Amino acid sequence: MKRKVHVIPHSHWDREWYFTTSRSKVYLMKDLKDVLDTLETNNDFKYFMVDAQGSLLEDYIKWMPQDKQRIKKLVQAKKLIIGPWYTQSDQLVISGESIVRNMYYGMKCCETFGEYMNVGYVPDSFGQSGNMPQIYRQFGIEDTLFWRGVSDDMVKHTDYNWRGDDGSVVFTTQIPFGYYIGGNIPEDDKASDEFWQKECFEKAVKNKGLERSFKQAIPQEVYESLEKEMTELETR
């Protein structure tokens, strides 16, 4: 059975987390400029997603107003994917009013550049409340993708329909290993090989990654065969 794999280059951006706002802006100026330059000059680099946060563009334009037309052109060419949020919000402990306004202002911000991504993309919220499907539907959003908030044994698959408190339904994709797995890949070639051959495999086995991806039971001998093949590759 053939499977099509979609690789989406993207950022995960904490405007304020373990560093200051000023340091965040320094990183943003460098990183987003690199993205713009790459999208304009490298035809093999088809698109880039800016973590669904319109506030990043506002911050960047304050310091680099000359790049506003560049951003507009890339957004309208569907090469720079933005929105729909204003900033990545928690969705569990804050009020519904805060979530609604975050989405509303994010969409308005993104519309000044072009179309926004009509997906409830939330890779790092510390949980989701039961009224999120209702909020998404009210904004015309039918699909959402998130990481946190669902433990590995709560659902059988990574793709499912989520029914909210009021009965609203959105199609949901859960990121089983989080947004950070690429950031954990060692830069050293030898260490990187070991990471792919051992750590990723062990995580897949522990979290039933194949079962959740293929939506069927995976016999133990399949895992044993894969482990044997990886060991043979490592010793070549």
Summarised one tens digit per residue, pLDDT across range 28-61 is: 999 999 999 999 999 999 999 998 999 999 999 9
* CATH of 21-182 among 1.10.274.10, 1.10.630.10, 3.20.110.10, 1.10.3720.10: 3.20.110.10
Dihedral of the CA atoms 117, 139, 165, 89 (nearest 10)?
A: 60
Active site residue 124: yes
pLDDT score at 15 = 78
Distances in Å between the Cα of 196 and the Cα atoms of 3, 61, 75, 185 are 20, 39, 34, 8
DSSP code for 67: G
Query: Using alpha carbons only, how large is the chain's radius of gyration in Å?
Result: 20
- Confidence (pTM): 0.76
Q: Which of 124, 165, 166, 188 is catalytic?
A: 124
How far apart CA 133 and CA 164 sit, in angstroms, is 5
pLDDT score at 230 = 64
